[in-house]
Structure 1
């Protein structure tokens, strides 16, 4: 005798990236020379500064209920140290 499939379906709770980010926050790492945005060749790169970019990211994160932490360094070791520190801070995602 063949088994019948149940007609009931279940919906799993949202465990996607958005909910994880909301629980833990996002670390945004900016690498070498990005501190010069808005000042170095603004006719080529534009006038928006890194502070402007960070403010926009933080604002968008806040609107979505997510804490955004921005960090910039010209030194690779400082970026690596920041990644390691994020592990103990409960950061859910890192954007590089």
Structure 2
């Protein structure tokens, strides 16, 4: 990563969170596919989300939302749905 701080696209974050809310904990590859992201791009978002305490990766390799991640769903994803109308994600 460059010296610039990673600035995630809020819609991409919302798609990742939405996939976890709809499908529960998921392995990384399956979650990346569910969100329509290349694996390398997904990994950058996942790293950022772990640092911000939005998700954890458990001992079995499943990505899970934290309480902060759940609150983010309520605030970010619901805001997008209310004011933009929808949040498109690929379905598994």
Same fold (TM over 0.5): no
Q: Which structure has the bigger radius of gyration? A: 1
Flag the structure with more relative contact order, 1 or 2, with Cα contacts below 8 A and sequence separation at least 6.
1
When normalised by structure 2's length, the TM-score is 0.29
Higher-helix-fraction structure? 2
When normalised by structure 1's length, the TM-score is 0.28
